[in-house]
Amino acid sequence: MTKGPILQQIWDDLPKERQEKIQTRAKELEAEYLTLQALRKRVGLTQAHISEELNMPQSNVSRLEKSADMLLSTLRGYIESIGGKLHLTVELPDKPPIILSGLGDLMDQSQPDVAQTNIVEAPNQTEKTGIAT
């Protein structure tokens, strides 16, 4: 006894136009949420190149690419090693996006309690990519 139609049957029963819209949106979402590995591959670099840039063993680059939690300074270094720039944007309910600036300076200072973070309103974005370059 089945508990309902299988997903494939539901998909097959959708109008072709609806299937195309779903597939288009799925591709958009995939592009927004790339992994570090996908970013590196997109710019045509190898882990060996990144390891030289970051002065760390290639095995550490591999671990870094699989990590879901890391220091901002580590992420910034990785992004810069592939030729990008890291920007952090805060999105609050019913407020325009805010770009946090000065965090790179904060990460390099030995006395973080002295540093200040600048807050800048982000330009109106019509498209979110999730990737700052």
**pTM for the model:** 0.55
Beta-bridge partners for 120: 99
**Same domain, yes or no: 21 and 72:** yes
Tell me if 54 sits within 8 A of 81, measured CB to CB. Answer: yes
Same domain assignment for residues 15 and 42: yes
Question: 86, 82, 88: which is closest to 65 by C-alpha?
Answer: 82
Burial class of residue 61 in the structure, from the number of CB atoms within 10 Å of its CB (0-12 exposed, 13-18 middle, 19+ buried): buried
* Total number of domains in the chain: 2
The answer on 75 and 15 residing in a single domain is yes
Contact 70, 64 (CB under 8 A): yes
- The predicted-structure confidence for 80-112, as pLDDT tens digits, reads as follows 999 999 988 999 999 999 988 776 554 444 433
Q: How far apart are CA 25 and CA 19, in angstroms?
A: 10
